[in-house]
Amino acid sequence: PNKYQRFTMGLTAMLVGGISGTGMHMMNNALQKVPLSRKPWLHVGYFFLGSYIGQKWVELERDLVIDINEIRADKGLPPLVGTKGWIKYEKPESPRI
C-alpha cells in the first residue's frame, strides 16, 4: 500500500467513527423522545470523539497484527496470510547504538 491508501484508511476510520458518534447521540435523543437536534454541540463533540476512537482503532489493530506476527515468528510460523498485502505492517527498527 502506498501513502494514499494509508491516508484514506485512516480518514475512512475517522469518518465512520465520527458518524457513529453522532448517530449514537441522535439515537439517544430518539430513545428519550426529545427533538433530535437537542443540544447540537453534542453532535459535534460526539463526532470528534468518535473520530478519535476510529483513529485509535486503526493504531490498535496495527499493533496487534505486529504482536501476533512476532509471536508466530517466535514459534517458527509464517506471518498471517496476506498481512503484507493488506496493510504493510513492519516491526519498528531498534535504534542502533
| Greater pLDDT, 81 or 86 | 81
Query: What pLDDT was estimated at residue 80?
Result: 75
What predicted TM-score, i.e. pTM, was given to this entire model?
Answer: 0.64
Of 50, 7, 2, 42, whose CA–CA distance to 25 is shortest? Answer: 42
pLDDT digits (tens, 9 = 90+) for 26-82: 999 999 999 988 888 888 888 888 888 888 888 888 788 888 888 988 998 887 766
